[in-house]
Amino acid sequence: MIRIGVIGQSGEIPAELQRLAYEIGREIALRGAILLSGGTNGVMECVSKGAKEANGLVVGILPGDTMDKANKYIDIPINTGLSFDYRSLILVHSSDALIMVGGGNGTLGELSAAYLNLKPVIILEPSGGWANKVRTMAYDEAYLDERKSTKLDYAQTVKEALDIAFSRVKR
């Protein structure tokens, strides 16, 4: 099964971002892929809820050794014993492609880790946060450095984001 990782901010998020994240989770499940996320709250909880309600498989790559930060929609919690930033590396390496939804500083770090590891990243620009800013700071609007290691993709809709993600996964 294809593993789609979703990266985005934790904590309280606006209603429109909740809706977009929920739709992404739902679409991942409807397409028969596994959803991976950081497993906590915010974007991660909303994508997990969307996937779970569409009968999808939801994996949470959690920081620390306990499940107290896990959202209630996680089917398979993975306790990493690591801090948030190192947990994110496991998420990146375990995903076939990643979708960036909104995002703060942690999400920006995940984007960089994905780029360094040549993982396809699809950025849902209308979701705000860093997702709405990456293109303006990227080399040729598509790379995080002059080496142009792997192209970043941009989507305007949830369906487009998933279409691109599936097209970029090599099986």
Amino acid found at 23 = E
Closest by Cα among 77, 70, 34 to 52: 34
Structure pTM?
A: 0.97
Tokens representing 42 are: 């915010």
134 Cβ contact list (under 8 Å, min separation 6): 100, 111, 123, 152
Residue range 22-30: average pLDDT?
Answer: 98
Rounded CA separation 160/81 (Å):
35
Closest by Cα among 35, 24, 49, 26 to 102: 24
36 in Cβ contact with 28 (< 8 Å) = no
Tokens representing 135 are: 């293109």
Q: Please list the residues that pair with 123 across neighbouring strands.
A: 100, 154
Task: Return the pLDDT at 170.
Answer: 75
Rounded CA separation 96/93 (Å):
8
Write the pLDDT tens digit of every residue in 70-111.
999 999 999 999 999 999 999 999 999 999 999 999 999 999
Q: Please list the residues that pair with 100 across neighbouring strands.
A: 7, 123
